[in-house]
Amino acid sequence: MIEHIVLFQFKPDASPESLSAIVTRLRELKGKIPQILALSCGENFCDRAQGFTHGLVARFQDSASLQAYQDHPAHQEVVQKLIKPIAVNILAMDYEISEDGRG
């Protein structure tokens, strides 16, 4: 299985409404993209985030499923229309985990 982690740093003047819309739309991807096994997304509350304010964690069966998610029109719409216009920095990491999710 694949764990996909993304951290987002947004422009300081990004509106709370824009950020809330991003979180909502990312969470809605779970119901739109069948390859997503699990997805969580939210606002950071840790003081060690180095400017990253939001994060996403998604789980996929394999790398082909991850690629299907990344290419899916619903995902691309959120990225292109909501995230990219106000993002300063995006950090992504993908790694394999065991079937039981223990790493």
> 41 lies in a domain?
yes
Contact status, residue 74 vs residue 10, Cβ threshold 8 Å: no
Tell me if residue 26 falls in helix, strand or coil.
helix
pLDDT digits (tens, 9 = 90+) for 9-33: 999 999 999 999 999 999 999 999 9
> 103 lies in a domain?
no
Per the structure, the complete domain to which residue 44 belongs is given by 2-96
> 78 lies in a domain?
yes
Alpha-carbon distance of 14 to 20, in angstroms, equals: 10
Q: Which residue has the higher pLDDT, 46 or 99?
A: 46
Looking at the 3D structure of the chain, how many domains does it have?
Answer: 1
pLDDT score at 99: 84
Alpha-carbon distance of 86 to 18, in angstroms, equals: 9
pLDDT digits (tens, 9 = 90+) for 71-95: 999 999 999 999 999 999 999 999 9
> 47 lies in a domain?
yes
What length is written for the chain? 103
What is the CATH number for 84?
Answer: 3.30.70.100
> 67 lies in a domain?
yes
Alpha-carbon distance of 50 to 53, in angstroms, equals: 9
> 102 lies in a domain?
no
Residue 79 is given by DSSP the state I
Q: Residue 103: which pLDDT band, with cuts at 50, 70 and 90?
A: low
Can you give the pTM of this predicted structure? Answer: 0.92
> 9 lies in a domain?
yes
CA atoms within 13 A on the CB side of 70: 12
The residue type at 23 = V
pLDDT digits (tens, 9 = 90+) for 59-75: 999 999 999 999 999 99
